[in-house]
Chains A and B, each alone.
Chain A
Amino acid sequence: QVQLVQSGADAKKPGSSVKISCKASGGSFDSYTFSWVRQAPGQGLEWMGRLIPILGKSNYAQKFQGRLTITADEFTSTVYMQLSSLTSEDTAVYYCARSGANDAYNIWGQGTLVSVSS
């Protein structure tokens, strides 16, 4: 069974960075696209960016340009999301999600809560 397992919750100070991992198991890694979606408390879903491992190509939402990096380690089938210059506005649950060619996220990680506070 295909699963995405994310790293655990993290508490950060404003101005710092966070790096979340998302390990894929039970399926081919290269054949899919991996995206990151976040959800602030009580708010909706927000797309952050994606990585297509087989192309080595990433795309980021304009809002996160310059402080978001999505990478992958194909040997361990793990995708990483690093967000820098954190503020309290970045407090959210961060999800990784897998899709095929149609960006339909049929597999989601369990979510990682990142809390940013001084």
Chain B
Amino acid sequence: DAGVTQSPTHLIKTRGQQVTLRCSPKSGHDTVSWYQQALGQGPQFIFQYYEEEERQRGNFPDRFSGHQFPNYSSELNVNALLLGDSALYLCASTYPKQGSPLHFGNGTRLTVT
């Protein structure tokens, strides 16, 4: 049973560039969330997608956008990268039921230089 898979595992970008991160949810899950984990911090909620719509959004600027495809996979796009966007980006999937635990991928390590 495949868990949550993310690609790429590592990425180095320059300030001002744009980046796309990809996520495939665990089999049977239809809800995908994205989190940003800065070094030494807990994960911070970016947004959540269900039925190809953004359902919830955290306190992140519009430079952060996403998409969910009919097969439930998802993309996170970040435009106009800043040095402060350097972090581990985690994708998590679940069922749309209150209290259902999130299953996390291993993340994409983004470094902005």
Tell me, yes or no, whether A binds B: no
